[in-house]
Structure 1
Amino acid sequence: MARQATAIKPVRLADVAKAAGVSHGTASNVFSHPEIVREEVRERVKAAADALGYAGPDPKGRLLRAGKVNAIGVATAEPLSYFFDDPFARVVMSGISEICDATGAGLSLVSAINGEHLAWNIQSALVDGFIVFCVEGNWQPVYLTRERKLPFVVLDFGYDEGALSAIGIDNKAGAKLAAEHLLAFGHRRFGVLALDFDEGSSGPVTARRAENATYSGTRDRLYGYLEALADAGIDAANVPIYETGNDVPTVHASLDYMFNLPEPPTALLAMSDRIAMIAIDWLKERGLSVPGDVSIIGFDGVPEAASCKPPLTTIAQPMQEMGRRAARAILDPGQAERRQEMPLELVVRESAGPVSAR
């Protein structure tokens, strides 16, 4: 008859203390507060631990007993690459990281396109709270973080629940400021290079498309543009609007469409700096000067906007400060405001100018 295997009993701290001839408290201090234990005692306990194969206390248990893990979770339904590839996300993360460095806190990136994976990642993350962003159209990260009953902040105003802690901007006001800047140069023929109104959609649209938009940021920026143009007597029906995916193929398609119109625009309102910079390259490749032939203004204020050629005029939001405030709100939730609207700034550079005499 085969002999039944005997389960190996895990080595405990009490076993190490007994082997070293010290109390349980002294053995615990060797691993958690070694500075208060005499050197010869430390060496004896460590030698006993090595002999027994004891690697040290389980950090998860210690953190859970303390009730605070000194770490921030950053959650999104986007793929992990979003944190590194998207210019907006990179700057926000730099602000979060700055506060973590200053306080010694850790960072945990929580992300998954698959909803089941996202649920597991959020439920199992060892963090003191969550910063949730890029969530419009998919509020699952908000619901899941709320279930954890930990502090959390949403970098968005699209979720209309007043009790939610949120940091964001007035997209409509920023877009209106952008259009007014180009109007002041005398432009009357405009084109709007929009972000997507719904996930995965692109193509020419009318102003009514915004009424049923999933993404409130895109909707509000369009409303801001059109309100400023209407105040100047420009009918929205005469403004070509193209929904892009904030990427090269769809931005190129939008420009092919607009510059094949009988009266192409002399001024472009781009809903992101990334769209604007792609457009500048497209225009230059076709012999159109910026701003000599076409003026363009972006939105966001990413660092790359200052170094493109020509440097991009844009509506800048304080992305790094948004990250800092979000991190502080998690580490010290008692000091956080419920709703923090961040200021916007018109950054005037060289991509916008007077309408061409041609």
Structure 2
Amino acid sequence: MQSRRRRGTLASIAAELGVSRTTVSNAYNRPDQLSEKLREHILETAERLGYPGPDPMARGLRMRRVGAIGVLFTEHLPFAFDDPASVDFLAGLAEELGEMGDSMLVIPASSEEGGEVDLSLIRQAVVDGFVVYSVADNDPFLAAVRARGLPTVVCDQPADVAALPFVGIDDREAIKPAVRHLTELGHRKVGILSVRLSRTPNSGYVTEKRLTGAHHQVQKNRVEGALEALAEVGIQQSDVPIIERHLNDRENNRDAARQLLTENPDLTAVVCTTDTQAIAVLEYAKENGIRVPEDLSITGFDGIERALFHKLTTIIQPNRQKGIAVGRALAEELEAAHEESGLAPASAAPSTGDEGDSVAPGEKGTDEMGANSSDQQAPRVLLATELVVGSTTAAPSVPSAG
């Protein structure tokens, strides 16, 4: 029986060409060190001998890079690929990471207090850095990410993590044009629908205490921004019914619409902190004989494709561009770590949780909360938003009192 032909190796290629193994390696890893003619000759010989190129895993170990970025996403994985705003963000991030030659590891974490917390998902993740996507400021997974000491960029929330680069929008100010649009039309009986404000579940009315102590800053800021815009025309928070749902899905959003409108029949407008909520209100209204916008005006937030299809009055935020901006910010952090250490980031290897207080070469020290000990201000990127007036808002058919 004929023996199977042995695959070429770095050494066999070097021997055949009469060059060093380093020269062959440079053809793959440092092509600028060789003439184009020599490099082509090496690659042609490698192909003829069946050499597939350097082992990417071995190269990653040598370079202390694994070519993967962890994305901390505190939702169940199906939501990450069902929620339109999240899908657009992940698409933009994947596009930029692809340009960098990196892959994306989406790490799901519990969104509820008291839920199962498996921090090994973070501690054992073999990645070069992290993207923290819309995480509560008291989330234990966030602390685990910071303890790794890897290059990290926060998107959306929390926005006030010391020394971590941030990419997002000003949610508090972004929602105000939609609310002012309603008040300028004459609306004074306005309700608000919000997605979860804290990791402790609540499916009902939002008290002042819950709003003040909320840990999900995006929703907190949008609700507070809406209340501030209403206060500009004399509407007090106590006169604004606010209903929250822990899950931002069709069933929960329709139920929230039902509760808000049946228990507050005098409302002439609803401000929603997401487009998916606004679409649910629109569907509920249609099924129950409530005319939009004649009887009820509705505003959303996000600018997803379905919202624009329904001609929803909404705030458009650039979700895909946000993902691209996060990828670029992380690339800068990785490069900075490379320059500081003289190598690629040193902490790609997973943590065992037993490292104590040691700091790897090239890493900045961190305090007990994981904050960077450097006084240098981390970069912040705030993207612009835009109010788009659609066909779901109009002056109230019966002018509101006040």
Please state whether the residue corresponding to 1:260 is helix, strand or coil: helix
- Name the residue aligned to 2:385: 344
CA distance, structure 2, for counterparts of residue 262 and residue 161 of structure 1? 38
1:106 paired with 2:102, answer yes
Cα pair 2:198 2:216 within 8 Å, conserved: yes
Task: Work out which of the residue numbers 36, 40, 45 in structure 2 matches 1:35.
Answer: 40
Task: Work out which of the residue numbers 75, 82, 86 in structure 1 matches 2:79.
Answer: 82
- Name the residue aligned to 1:145: 145
Q: Which range moves more in the overlay, 245-254 or 329-338?
A: 329-338
Q: Which range moves more in the overlay, 193-202 or 155-164?
A: 155-164
Q: Deviations over 1:155-189 (max 9, x none)?
A: 02425333111112222112322211110111111
Q: Which range moves more in the overlay, 108-117 or 155-164?
A: 108-117
Residues 59, 223 of structure 1: alpha-carbon distance in 2 compared, 3 angstrom cutoff:
same
- Name the residue aligned to 2:173: 173
RMSD in angstroms over aligned alpha carbons?
Answer: 3.3
Q: Deviations over 1:43-67 (max 9, x none)?
A: 34x3xx7xxxxx8753211123234
Please state whether the residue corresponding to 1:340 is helix, strand or coil: strand
Residues 41, 266 of structure 1: alpha-carbon distance in 2 compared, 3 angstrom cutoff:
closer
- Name the residue aligned to 2:286: 284
Cα pair 1:13 1:28 within 8 Å, conserved: no
1:331 paired with 2:331, answer yes
Cα pair 1:78 1:112 within 8 Å, conserved: yes
CA distance, structure 2, for counterparts of residue 87 and residue 205 of structure 1? 25
CA distance, structure 1, for counterparts of residue 59 and residue 8 of structure 2? 14
1:274 paired with 2:276, answer yes
Q: In the TM superposition, what is the alpha-carbon distance from 1:209 to its structure 2 partner?
A: 2.5
- Give the structure-1-normalised TM-score: 0.81
Cα pair 2:27 2:43 within 8 Å, conserved: no
Higher relative contact order (CA 8 A, sep 6+): 2
Cα pair 1:16 1:27 within 8 Å, conserved: no
Please state whether the residue corresponding to 2:262 is helix, strand or coil: coil
Structure 1: gaps (5+ residues) = 1-10, 50-54
Which residue identity does 2:238 align to in structure 1?
Answer: A
Please state whether the residue corresponding to 1:37 is helix, strand or coil: helix
Q: In the TM superposition, what is the alpha-carbon distance from 1:357 to its structure 2 partner?
A: 3.6
Q: In the TM superposition, what is the alpha-carbon distance from 1:313 to its structure 2 partner?
A: 0.8
Residues 122, 35 of structure 1: alpha-carbon distance in 2 compared, 3 angstrom cutoff:
farther
What count of residue pairs does the alignment treat as equivalent?
336
CA distance, structure 2, for counterparts of residue 104 and residue 222 of structure 1? 37
Which residue identity does 2:182 align to in structure 1?
Answer: L
Cα pair 1:99 1:327 within 8 Å, conserved: yes
Residues 318, 38 of structure 1: alpha-carbon distance in 2 compared, 3 angstrom cutoff:
closer
Residues 121, 206 of structure 1: alpha-carbon distance in 2 compared, 3 angstrom cutoff:
closer
Please state whether the residue corresponding to 1:293 is helix, strand or coil: coil
Q: In the TM superposition, what is the alpha-carbon distance from 1:316 to its structure 2 partner?
A: 1.7
- Name the residue aligned to 1:97: 94
Cα pair 1:193 1:270 within 8 Å, conserved: yes
Q: In the TM superposition, what is the alpha-carbon distance from 1:224 to its structure 2 partner?
A: 1.3
Q: Which range moves more in the overlay, 171-180 or 274-283?
A: 171-180
Residues 28, 257 of structure 1: alpha-carbon distance in 2 compared, 3 angstrom cutoff:
same
Please state whether the residue corresponding to 1:281 is helix, strand or coil: helix
